[in-house]
Structure 1
């Protein structure tokens, strides 16, 4: 049963899917907003508040109480909340793609490209070396190449959406340093998505190299379809709509349905559904259509559905399991290597291009921005 007959009939609302999901969603949003308020003086991005809200509801804090965990987040409800969380994630990544101006890749200089590559390769190598040692210590039977690829991507990627918001809040987005950081992060993100698609293909098709090849070729074909079919169609919609008038509800609904279809296609071919939504968003041209889509979706997706994704991550996270100095040492070393790799890589670029050392160090710190993409990589890897 989905809905209850009412407490007056003796029913417990938490035994039914819909009222239970409503309560879960309410708690997730409330926990997120509490942390947003608490972290506001520290100027932390909202993604941090969402992660902390999820952890608070999980087994690390409130979930320690078995009565609370079994009543509010029982195992039978996981599929419902995970499904809604992934729907929210699909549309959020679509919006990230819509807001991302890939045309700046044509105009950025060699400095941004070099900074992006240097800031990705060094932490990738350091993280990969660290995971090889961990794999040997744990005698893990998982494919070592896939393991290195997942961890390497998670440690080396820069969160473009989070960095863009931070630069905007600090009013640095139109400075030379801000433009360099944003351009480098965009290139970094594009590389990360390519590597993530490769890692997923390898992880899901370890028994057949031909299957992995077909996954990559199918993914490339989907990208080509978005570039040569979806983008011209979206441009046609913009041209067909008179300037100053709102876009037809039919066109908006068609695009929103296209997000789901794109997610279905990329999931079916062997990459993650979020890859399809992201590429579909990139195919939407910048301008009034993109602005309209963001205005219609952003508050609902970011404020209501996306926090569910972090709640799921929090429910899967039990900080209490991290015990002993050895485990904490490994965590600290991995974080340190990832951060120092970014800083050293970008500092080397700064020295090569005769930039001030302080500016190079600042760029390295900005490139250490983490956020949603890392959470996606780690969740996909965990699954």
Structure 2
């Protein structure tokens, strides 16, 4: 019978050889009393966890500083920082590996990684304007379906023809091929949103089209996951209960959470901050939605994404939540996810370099097919081929969602350690190549349609404006002092009925 004694639990028993055994299990697994009281700090979880986050931030920021001339996104630097901490680099030192990644800290690391990833996808969804994205999705739905299907078919055929890995044991290679093709052919909304925010293209017309297309992809993925779970149940009653649970989850998010957060926005006085209790409840709601979606058998990121979509973006609620909590989440909690990925990624997986290059080549083929399909579909929408090419590249962004799915497949035994590591490196290579190309090709041009304006490619001046064309002016007003200058400019232009002036006045207000 275990008996509590001080800081531990004492168990006394007699074995078959009539020998007494006294076992003392320490219950102080989190924090130590300090080195001056005889404790070794790295025998406890808290000092190890703090040391992990400090070392990771220093390494990832150093990599971002060194790779910034190549326009490498932060996601790539963060994953590389986790790999440097893992068994591929510093983890080769056995003393370091046992000190910084002990077995008793693994569960805490995994939990922190899942919580950080949940909040990350929540913030990415929160920053989106859902109404604009949905309107764009209604008119450009072909861009969300046809490129995905083309990429999936290309990857699936290539995987079956050329990808024949060895030493897979009891894993069904056909299932592996199909799942990898599905995951890597999707364009995930949080990933596309995150990269577009980093390269400052989220508010552009092309960026909104990319978001709407990725939203359609995510909806398809959710229903695909739902269908797979229903097929696995095989019992009609269980399938019905599962489907009704999903519908209840969806209806509760739209018809209960949506009106609730809109009520919070309406009751907040203009110019006043949102009450702290509302912000706290919404942040707790992220964990609750994660729990519900995981209990229902969906991916745990579905709940946070749904909550982020129903909350109105912008002031006052959306901006307040982002301002108060995004930094601490993205800089001090999300890094645990990258540490977890790096801890499970090994360079030894690349020893079969032929299979790795084959896998990378298949992904490149899928990306090229998706880009080509985007160009062809874009012509149907009268989008310029150059911009349609950039749109296809945007839909090829890879990121944290692919890593979450790969980690889940590894936990379920679908992927082994080598294939998981190869997928991580393929995601890194794809993102590191595609992101700089998008920045180079797209120069914030507002018009992506093929119809060229009258002044396309010309300098617009007052003197060169034809008499039968109106002269358009945009007036951006921040305070009263700038009003007089614009009125003087409009008067100096001498507008007449034969040569009118159209002035667009914008009042700039800091959110």
| TM-score for the superposition, normalised by structure 2 | 0.68
Moved more, 345-354 or 84-93: 345-354
Q: 1:31 aligns with which of 42, 59, 65?
A: 59
Q: 2:147 aligns with which of 82, 96, 119?
A: 119
> How big is the shift at 1:159?
4.4
Unpaired segments ≥5 residues, structure 1: none
Residues 1:171 and 1:275: Cα distance change in structure 2 (over 3 Å)? closer
Distance 1:292 1:149 in 2: 42
> Hey, what does 1:225 align to over in structure 2?
252
Q: Deviations over 1:20-71 (max 9, x none)?
A: 1111121222222222222222222211111111111111111111211111
> Hey, what does 2:119 align to over in structure 1?
91
Unpaired segments ≥5 residues, structure 2: 1-27, 412-511
Residues 1:380 and 1:357: Cα distance change in structure 2 (over 3 Å)? same
Moved more, 117-126 or 343-352: 343-352
Distance 2:131 2:245 in 1: 25
User: Are 2:172 and 1:151 aligned?
Assistant: no
Distance 2:299 2:178 in 1: 15
Paired residues of 1:259 and 1:277 also in contact (CA < 8 A): yes
Q: 1:185 aligns with which of 214, 218, 236?
A: 214
Q: Deviations over 1:264-311 (max 9, x none)?
A: 111112123221121122121223211111111210111111111111
Q: Pick 1 or 2: higher relative contact order, CA cutoff 8 A, min separation 6.
A: 1
Moved more, 69-78 or 336-345: 336-345
Moved more, 182-191 or 164-173: 164-173
Q: Deviations over 1:218-247 (max 9, x none)?
A: 223211110000010111111111111111
Moved more, 182-191 or 358-367: 182-191
Residues 1:208 and 1:257: Cα distance change in structure 2 (over 3 Å)? same
Paired residues of 2:125 and 2:190 also in contact (CA < 8 A): no
Residues 1:144 and 1:320: Cα distance change in structure 2 (over 3 Å)? closer
Distance 2:289 2:200 in 1: 35
Q: What do you get for the CA RMSD once the two structures are aligned?
A: 2.7
Distance 1:213 1:139 in 2: 35
User: Are 2:405 and 1:377 aligned?
Assistant: yes
Which structure dedicates a bigger proportion of its chain to strand?
A: 2
Which structure dedicates a bigger proportion of its chain to helix?
A: 1
User: Are 2:90 and 1:59 aligned?
Assistant: no
Q: Deviations over 1:295-336 (max 9, x none)?
A: 112101111111111111111011222213432332222222
Distance 1:194 1:97 in 2: 19
Residues 1:217 and 1:132: Cα distance change in structure 2 (over 3 Å)? farther
> Hey, what does 2:391 align to over in structure 1?
363
> Hey, what does 2:295 align to over in structure 1?
268
Q: Report 1:250-329 matches (<5 A).
A: 250-287=277-314, 288-329=316-357
> Hey, what does 1:102 align to over in structure 2?
130
